[in-house]
């Protein structure tokens, strides 16, 4: 056997490549360790705060420590996808026994990524906006209500991590190209934003603002004008 330093370097590392090491839990026997297995180990034992074990779908059950359950649209098929998930119930204690209570409320309005870390080469993840957080009656868990944004591969049914990705933008710019005395603004922000209106020269103008609903605003001016409305 040649000296290790004489072997060529592998510049195309794959998950199936192996390293030689000592199995401390197995009487210090020399064994091979696959790169993909090491990656999975580091992923699941890392410092990510929101890591949980799958326990099924949620139907008002008690959520055990370290577990999560999906709340699924009742009309979804038996084999449901990321888009069918409307909420996730998580224990106040993650799979490492840490209390996440102080952090849960900070997830509201955040975009989160739920990633499948049960398998080393899984590409499964779902992106959601957290619209609300409810403390469940047991007091030991929380239900996050979710709005689906996108996903990849199949739904994770094993160990997951939940990572916040920041808040979604709540700004909208409306342009009224043709002069009109009434501007109808369909912003789809699902809220009642503040409104600043300007004319075509960029000067602030004032109109009577009516919130038709959480996604539509009308602004009425004393005369026809063109310009922009900035919603925030």
More confident residue, 161 or 34: 161
Q: Global pTM?
A: 0.59
Domain-wise residue ranges, the chain: 51-167, 172-231
8-state DSSP, 180:
E
- Dmax (CA) for the chain in angstroms is 91
Q: From residue 162, how far is each of 17, 114, 127, 184 by CA, in Å?
A: 29, 5, 10, 39
Mean pLDDT on 203-230: 92
The 10s digit of each residue's pLDDT in 86-145 is: 999 999 999 889 999 989 988 988 889 898 887 654 567 888 999 999 999 877 999 999
Query: Do strands 67-72 and 51-57 pair parallel, antiparallel, or not at all (unpaired)?
Result: parallel
């Amino acid at each position: 056997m040649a000296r290790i330093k004489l072997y060529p370097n592998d510049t195309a590392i794959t998950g199936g490549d192996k390293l030689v090491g000592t199995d401390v839990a197995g009487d210090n026997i020399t064994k091979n360790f696959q790169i993909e297995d090491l990656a999975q180990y580091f992923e699941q034992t890392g410092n990510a705060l929101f890591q949980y074990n799958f326990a099924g779908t949620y139907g008002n059950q008690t959520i055990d420590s370290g577990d999560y359950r999906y709340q699924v649209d009742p009309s979804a098929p038996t084999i449901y996808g990321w888009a069918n998930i409307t909420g996730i119930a998580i224990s106040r204690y993650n799979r490492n026994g840490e209390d996440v209570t102080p952090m849960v409320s900070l997830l509201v309005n955040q975009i989160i990524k739920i990633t499948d870390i049960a398998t080393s080469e899984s590409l499964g993840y779902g992106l959601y906006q957290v619209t609300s957080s409810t403390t469940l009656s047991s007091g030991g868990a929380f239900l996050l209500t979710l709005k689906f944004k996108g996903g990849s591969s199949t739904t994770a049914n094993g160990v997951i991590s939940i990572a916040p990705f920041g808040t979604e933008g709540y700004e909208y710019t409306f342009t009224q190209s043709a002069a009109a005395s009434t501007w109808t603004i369909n912003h789809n922000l699902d809220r009642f934003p503040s409104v600043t209106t300007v004319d075509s020269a960029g000067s602030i103008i004032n109109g009577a603002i009516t919130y038709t609903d959480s996604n539509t605003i009308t602004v009425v001016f004393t005369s026809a004008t063109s310009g922009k409305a900035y919603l925030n």
